[in-house]
A and B are shown apart, each in its own frame.
Chain A
Amino acid sequence: MGARKPMPPTDLDDLFAPEVIADPYSYFAQLREADPVYWNERFQLWVITGYQEVVWLLRHHELFSSAIMKHSTSPPYPPIEPEDLPLFDEVREFRGDQLVEQDRPEHLHQRGVVHEYFTPTAMESWRPFVRDAVRELLDELEPLGRMDVLTEFAASLPVRVIAQMMDVPYEHRDHLRELADSILYMNRGEPWRLRPLTEGMRGIVEYAAPLVEERLECPGDDFISILAQGEKTGVFTRHQVLVNTGLLLFAGHETTMNLICNGLLALIRHPDQWDRLRADPTGMARLATEECLRYDPPVKSTQRIAAEDVELGGRTIRKGDRIRWIMAAANRDPSVFPDPERFDIGRQPNPHVSFGSGIHYCLGVALARMEGQEVFGALAERFPRFELATEEVEYQPSIQFRSLKSLPVTWKQGDR
């Protein structure tokens, strides 16, 4: 063996290092090798990177609480400006009342109200709407020869879909987009981020309040009417109806943006896979979307809090301990995925955990899948090849979301 250049020592506790934000996969692979159930001393939390451990944890909801806002006393990280601390209470109140933060039995009752709206069969009826929206957006962009995929395409699509699901007028889209963009600060690192975030939260509550009144009077089959119906039957409080309307906007917006951007970036960086998709866009779109979800998932990690002392992977997690489970790491666990670092749009089976597992399994899964299929299929159908119009892409400094700051691309016109 020749002399190897020594690797720089890695600080396994530095969750927010710029290198980890740029490339979470190498770091989490190191963690998984060190210990799939790793205690991070600096941030005082467990980091779960093994596939089996992640799935086991998610399916034992009675041992691992989702009510983070209620149970966690830790300050926001990265730190915020001290005078913004009262705003954090507002964030707690808003998020703490959302469906994702509930445990059983409340979670079951609340999910029961909205569950039917998002089933695979129900979402299939939305496919023509999504297909038309994708076509309209690309019709406008195609002649330009360039776009920032993030702001000009990926952020526009989910807002159109969500506005339709709320059954609000076409002209409200711009306002909804503004609110959605403010709520994106949930995920950012700026010390002043709670100001735009809370503005967005108040904005959505203010926007949704009269709609809820209206839908209580004359219910339709839209999402707000479904939530309002839950208030009538005593499952939701008014505040819960309002913050869960906000949840639809937030959860449906950023995750879809990331799926489109991260997926397209992977396809651009793997021209052989792009060609494979182009050869059969309709046939390959479904599996390709799953591989995009596995390879560079919209959400990298989420939290839980131990509800009691529990053994996991030979370690003892104590009641009240904070836990971060890393879907981005589980998705590349070599014990489950052969050749996990390879981007293979035909990969099958592909049991990635990008939508989680267990009782909190992503409510919007069927919508997300369908949007991904329609987008990747249409892009491959219309564009021979994209070129990245930047040397290096940058990511938002978030431990939770895998969000690009922008994705500028160009293409040659007329050689379809």
Chain B
Amino acid sequence: MTRRLDVIVDHSRCVGNAMCLATAPGVFAHNSDRQSEVVDPAGDTEEKILEAAVNCPTGAIRVEVAESGERLFPHGG
């Protein structure tokens, strides 16, 4: 069974670069301010979600394991 993730977008950092929408379109969508919002944290694979987080130019995406709260990205943060 795949583990559940918490995916959080920090709106004080998000600039609407939209690369996360291209990488994990099942998870992220734009809100009316054209900032990224999580529509379904299980909408893509964990690999794709982490890729979106790592590639965010402003580091606005945080990913945690829902059950344990373990931080997957960013590391050491």
Contact = CB atoms under 8 A, between A and B. Distances in A.
**A and B are interacting partners:** yes
Given A108-B22, A357-B15, A358-B15, A121 B54 contact: yes
B55 to A, nearest CB: 5
Given A60-B34, A108-B22, A112-B22, A366 B57 contact: yes
Contacts of B18: 358-359
4 closest Cβ contacts across the A-B interface?
A59-B34, A361-B17, A59-B16, A357-B15
B58 interface: yes
A351 B22 contact: no
Interface of B: 12, 15-19, 22, 33-34, 54-59
Contact of B16 (A115, A119, A351, A358): A358
Nearest to B33: A59
A363 B17 CA distance: 10
A63 to B, nearest CB: 11
Q: How large is the interface on A (under 10, 10 to 19, 20 to 34, 35 or more residues)?
A: 20 to 34
A349 interface: yes
A118 interface: yes
18 contacts: A58-B16, A59-B16, A108-B22, A112-B22, A115-B19, A115-B57, A116-B55, A118-B57, A119-B56, A120-B56, A120-B57, A120-B59, A121-B54, A351-B12, A356-B15, A358-B18, A361-B16, A366-B57
Nearest to A123: B57
Contacts of B55: 115-116, 119
Interface in A347-385: 349, 351, 355-359, 361-363, 365-366
A362 B57 CA distance: 9
A361 B55 CA distance: 13
Most buried by B among A108, A119, A355: A119
Contacts of A120: 56-59
A356 B58 CA distance: 12
Contacts of B57: 115, 118-120, 361-363, 365-366
Nearest to A58: B16
